[in-house]
Structure 1
Amino acid sequence: MDAATGSSGPLYQRIAAQIEAAIASGAMAAGARLPSVRQLAQQHGVSMSTALQVYRSLENRGVVEARPKSGYYVAPRAHALPEPMLDLRMEAPSLVNMDQVLQEFLWIVNDPLAVPSFHAQPARSLLPEAKLQALLAGVNRRHPEYASRCQMEGSAALRQEIARRAVSSGVQLRPEEIVITNGGLEAVYLALRSVASAGDTIVLESPTYFHLLQVIESLGMRALEIPTHPRDGISLEALEFATRTPGAVKACVLLPNFPNPMGSLMPVERKRELVKLTAERGITLIESDIYGELYFGEQRPPVLKSFDTDLQEKADVILCSAFTKTVAPGYRIGWVAPGRHFLKTQALKFRTSVACPMLTQEVLAQFIRDGGYDHHLRRLRAALKTQMHQMVDAVARHFPMGCRMILPQGGMMLWIEMPKHVDSREVFALARLEHIGVGRAAAFSTTRRFDHFIRLQYGEPFTAQTEAAMKRLGQIVKRLAERSPRREDQRTMPSALHA
């Protein structure tokens, strides 16, 4: 069919629809090379820019993938498994106890043979270690005084670079509004201590990440988990219901861009609605954007704080982030922009850990200033996207019927729903014996609603070992799935919204 005679809509969308239909019909297999941009333009009688727009729209939807210096290829068929279901149940706020999970966490994190590893960070082979080492030697040579002094608020040069980069996420920050922290977790810790006290209720996404639950536990606060959509982020309808009573919720701690473990991306309009809702309810919004730079689309997704400017003084958004997931996990450098809570946050930082090492801060500042960080991020995003497709394809091939997952739009996590009677505790125990790094449900929620979910990470290059591990893990899940469900699991799925 000629593109010009197709259905209504922009020309590039009609061409993209033809290609997507051909892929869906099986006419083009996963991994097949597509015509070059020039060839596509000639085939349809369109400009090169229109042909490129076709491929980019398909790439954004996960239908095709770009390979550096090679062209466009049909992406692995993530739709071989359906998407997870959304459980809309909510439970009362509760205190957190992660002691048992911590022990399991230490077991798997300290296993050097685990494939894939449990670490939610890129593999060393994807990090610019040699470049950072060279910069470190140079900074140390020029500034030996950094071994004996520090600045409480952090390196002025690094804060300048953070403020400059924040523009791409939709935020205008001044360097003097930023406090450097020991990683992203300390940033969230300081933000929480600045606005809440022991016994206060804090809203979290459900599922959320293990270390955040630990912070809530250490501060004696109560966690209120709000159901989270695997593509749309936290349920605004559930949040609106949970916050109707004034003062019932003190703050929300959220990761709207590719959170661990779900990897969802909240759409722009829902981000705007979220900021408006919390502003109207007088609730502080603490945003962690540690994965925001790891997007697979064309543009960096905006942060929640970018939507607080229209609400004048009503909105209270604290932005936290770190470099631990993108460039230098071992440097443990994060930051927080606490807004109206700056003085209290700064004082808490001084009382908690005084300051952060100047040497590594200056190294990062120079790496960013010289363009090395942007270059590294482009390579890292491309690698993670390829590894994501490889992992998704392996899971789709090896896991049994009844499993569900969603194609992530960024980050490095894959959240998998197994048949409801399969217990992630058993999967974790059996996988651990075979050195397979699996995150079980209890690490991501205080509830039991995710007992049949597991998390995998694709931050490492996909190898023959990874393929073998996914095959074996699929066999474990299949064996457990083939058992008859226990009586307590013989129940219908609660009212749920399909993802």
Structure 2
Amino acid sequence: MEEALLDVDAPLQLLQPSPLYQAVAGGLEKAIACGSLRGGDRLPSVRQLCQQHGVSASTVTLAYRWLENRGLVEARPKSGYFVAPRPQPLPEPELDARMSKADFVTPDGLTRQFLLVANEPGAMPSFRVQAGRSLLPEAKLRQLTASINRRHPEYASRIESGGSPALRREIARRAIHSGVRLHPDEILLTNGGMEAMHLALRSVAKAGDTIALESPTYFMLLEVIETLGMRSLEIPSHPRDGLSIEALDLATRTPGAVRACVVIPNFQNPVGSLMPIENKRRLVALAAERGISLIESDIYGELHFGDERPPVLKSFDAHDDVILCSAFTKAVAPGYRVGWMAPGRHLRECQSIKFRTSSPGVQLQQEVIAEFLADGGYDHHMRRLRASLKAQAQAMADAIARYFPPGCRLSRPRGGLALWIELPSQVDSRKVFERACAELIGMAPGATFTCSARFDHFIRLHYGDPWTPLLEARLKRLGQIIAEQLG
């Protein structure tokens, strides 16, 4: 049985480690992934780890053997265990600078096909881009919910038309960390991040207008734009730096050609790009010069791997025309659907549209998030979550380099949740998706994130799920599926 645990080709039911084994191996793996332990570093002896964790020598030996089997650790005779050299990092995908009127098309049914399997509970990695359940503060939120229910039973029968004042105050208080000053009255609470984007688009554009957005982009943005009768113009984006300011400049030189621009400047989904600060300044200035409204989603901005949170576009906005949207759905409570927006000069229009089309939201859940922010629980949670995601991103990148066929390219995100992978050009990501779905491997084909065919040989994976032997086995199998298309 112990030997089977070490073999990623073994039956999947044998790949679940014991809690003691997971504690020892997982701790070492995180230290390796985040760079605290580097290639060639000597690892603690079996005896040292036994004393540190209070476990048996057999448990520590099993942990080291599993890490060795994965290529993370190497044993040297009479010397002990050392961190093994990492696989050679894959090159990044390159910028596809093509842009033409062919981009004025609508999405096909692939998005709907993806959404049908998005909630499949057995998928690993999962299809939805969010932090795994074990990384979310569910226990803390349950405690806060019970406490607030006892203190404020009236929330069950009362509707706050503007949403929770406490939550709006907390959002405004924290906005300074992203470089922007907001007043609570400038904030509109929404039912998730997509309602915020929906309200933003309706407040600045009408049916028939053209909306510029990054390419590739989050597929639901394409769906919302189509639903509103608007047209999408895909602007080339770099996998590292995000939307091409030069391409947007070219596309908007004709007055009125583009009504608004939707952008995710911080750790964009699906590519994970982070727009440089100077590019953010240029984008805001260009939009103001051309009379283009900027709609910014900062839903991943808090998930940075560096020491500082990146600023939002709105921090460079001198005309109050940038509409900032965000939510707590990716990193805190996906099921609560608590989002928000700071619409600037478009506030009254957004409030009017929301009043006519949707409810204010569940006040109890908003109050829970507000107290979570106020009592320091959020900051503690985010520190742990960012560390976990950074380690998980590196572990997945190493596995892709190890198991995927030659010719692949991989993004190198500095935050967020997504990895963007370019496959050899002859691979059809739709076919990979069909086979992966059948084997409960959660991935998204590149065609989902565009209205063109330029990303048919790309896929998106996310690293929100904690690293396990099962996850590694599924990634190895995904690499085999891709390789089989190469003949």
Pair in the same fold by TM > 0.5: yes
Aligned to 1:226, the other structure's residue is in SS state strand
Aligned to 1:80, the other structure's residue is in SS state coil
Q: Is the counterpart of residue 317 in structure 1 residue 315 in structure 2?
A: no
Structure 1 position 349, deviation (Å): 0.8
- 1:353-432 equivalences in 2 (<5 Å): 353-432=358-437
Aligned to 2:197, the other structure's residue is in SS state helix
Give the Cα–Cα distance (whole angstroms) in 2 for the partners of residues 159 and 263 of structure 1.
28
Aligned to 1:85, the other structure's residue is in SS state coil
Correspondence for 1:243? 252
Q: Per the alignment, do residues 96 and 372 of structure 1 end up closer, same or farther by CA in structure 2, a change over 3 Å counting?
A: same
Q: Is the counterpart of residue 307 in structure 1 residue 316 in structure 2?
A: yes
Aligned to 2:355, the other structure's residue is in SS state helix
Q: Per the alignment, do residues 375 and 248 of structure 1 end up closer, same or farther by CA in structure 2, a change over 3 Å counting?
A: same
The answer on whether the counterparts of 1:76 and 1:390 sit within 8 Å (CA) in structure 2 is no
Correspondence for 1:199? 208
Give the Cα–Cα distance (whole angstroms) in 1 for the partners of residues 232 and 453 of structure 2.
14
Give the Cα–Cα distance (whole angstroms) in 2 for the partners of residues 119 and 332 of structure 1.
14
Q: What whole-Å deviation, never above 9, does each CA across 1:187-224 have from its counterpart, x for those lacking one? A: 01000000000110001100001111111111011000
Give the Cα–Cα distance (whole angstroms) in 1 for the partners of residues 148 and 135 of structure 2.
23
Structure 1 position 76, deviation (Å): 7.8
Give the Cα–Cα distance (whole angstroms) in 2 for the partners of residues 140 and 228 of structure 1.
46
Structure 1 position 151, deviation (Å): 1.7
Correspondence for 1:20? none
Aligned to 1:377, the other structure's residue is in SS state helix
Q: What code does the residue aligned with 1:220 have?
A: G
Structure 1 position 152, deviation (Å): 2.2
Match for 1:267 among 260, 276, 282?
Answer: 276
Correspondence for 1:41? none
Give the Cα–Cα distance (whole angstroms) in 2 for the partners of residues 31 and 474 of structure 1.
28
Correspondence for 2:339? 334
The answer on whether the counterparts of 1:78 and 1:407 sit within 8 Å (CA) in structure 2 is no
- 1:109-188 equivalences in 2 (<5 Å): 109-188=118-197
Structure 1 position 78, deviation (Å): 7.2
Match for 1:106 among 103, 116, 126?
Answer: 116
Q: Is the counterpart of residue 281 in structure 1 residue 290 in structure 2?
A: yes
Q: Per the alignment, do residues 464 and 31 of structure 1 end up closer, same or farther by CA in structure 2, a change over 3 Å counting?
A: farther
Aligned to 1:160, the other structure's residue is in SS state helix
Give the Cα–Cα distance (whole angstroms) in 1 for the partners of residues 192 and 269 of structure 2.
16
Aligned to 1:410, the other structure's residue is in SS state coil
Q: Per the alignment, do residues 379 and 175 of structure 1 end up closer, same or farther by CA in structure 2, a change over 3 Å counting?
A: same
Q: Is the counterpart of residue 452 in structure 1 residue 457 in structure 2?
A: yes
Aligned to 2:107, the other structure's residue is in SS state coil
Correspondence for 1:215? 224
Q: What code does the residue aligned with 1:414 have?
A: L
Q: What code does the residue aligned with 2:380 have?
A: H
Give aligned pairs, total.
414
Q: What code does the residue aligned with 1:122 have?
A: A
Q: Which moved more, 1:393-402 or 1:471-480?
A: 471-480
Structure 1 position 110, deviation (Å): 3.0
The answer on whether the counterparts of 2:87 and 2:402 sit within 8 Å (CA) in structure 1 is no
Give the Cα–Cα distance (whole angstroms) in 2 for the partners of residues 255 and 372 of structure 1.
26
Give the Cα–Cα distance (whole angstroms) in 2 for the partners of residues 34 and 278 of structure 1.
53
Match for 1:292 among 297, 301, 308?
Answer: 301
Q: What whole-Å deviation, never above 9, does each CA across 1:271-319 have from its counterpart, x for those lacking one? A: 111111111101000000000000000100000000113xxx3x62010
Give the Cα–Cα distance (whole angstroms) in 2 for the partners of residues 173 and 101 of structure 1.
35
Give the Cα–Cα distance (whole angstroms) in 2 for the partners of residues 175 and 84 of structure 1.
41
The answer on whether the counterparts of 1:117 and 1:437 sit within 8 Å (CA) in structure 2 is yes
Structure 1 position 227, deviation (Å): 0.6
Structure 1 position 99, deviation (Å): 3.3
Structure 1 position 442, deviation (Å): 2.1
5+ residue gaps, structure 2, are: 1-31, 45-81
Correspondence for 1:4? none
Correspondence for 2:28? none
TM-score, normalised relative to structure 1: 0.80
Structure 1 position 351, deviation (Å): 1.0
Aligned to 1:321, the other structure's residue is in SS state strand
Give the Cα–Cα distance (whole angstroms) in 1 for the partners of residues 87 and 293 of structure 2.
37
Correspondence for 1:3? none
The answer on whether the counterparts of 1:153 and 1:178 sit within 8 Å (CA) in structure 2 is no
Structure 1 position 74, deviation (Å): 8.1
Q: Per the alignment, do residues 33 and 341 of structure 1 end up closer, same or farther by CA in structure 2, a change over 3 Å counting?
A: farther
Q: Which moved more, 1:287-296 or 1:346-355?
A: 346-355
Q: What code does the residue aligned with 2:428 have?
A: D
Q: Per the alignment, do residues 378 and 274 of structure 1 end up closer, same or farther by CA in structure 2, a change over 3 Å counting?
A: same
Q: What code does the residue aligned with 1:328 have?
A: A
Structure 1 position 141, deviation (Å): 1.3
Q: Per the alignment, do residues 424 and 77 of structure 1 end up closer, same or farther by CA in structure 2, a change over 3 Å counting?
A: same
Q: Is the counterpart of residue 97 in structure 1 residue 107 in structure 2?
A: yes
Q: Per the alignment, do residues 34 and 220 of structure 1 end up closer, same or farther by CA in structure 2, a change over 3 Å counting?
A: farther
Q: Per the alignment, do residues 75 and 348 of structure 1 end up closer, same or farther by CA in structure 2, a change over 3 Å counting?
A: farther
Structure 1 position 31, deviation (Å): 7.7
Structure 1 position 103, deviation (Å): 2.3
Correspondence for 2:474? 469
Q: Per the alignment, do residues 33 and 167 of structure 1 end up closer, same or farther by CA in structure 2, a change over 3 Å counting?
A: farther
Structure 1 position 95, deviation (Å): 4.1
Structure 1 position 32, deviation (Å): 3.8
Q: What code does the residue aligned with 2:310 have?
A: P
Correspondence for 2:18? none
Q: Percent identity?
A: 64
TM-score, normalised relative to structure 2: 0.82
Give the Cα–Cα distance (whole angstroms) in 1 for the partners of residues 281 and 86 of structure 2.
32
The answer on whether the counterparts of 1:95 and 1:217 sit within 8 Å (CA) in structure 2 is no
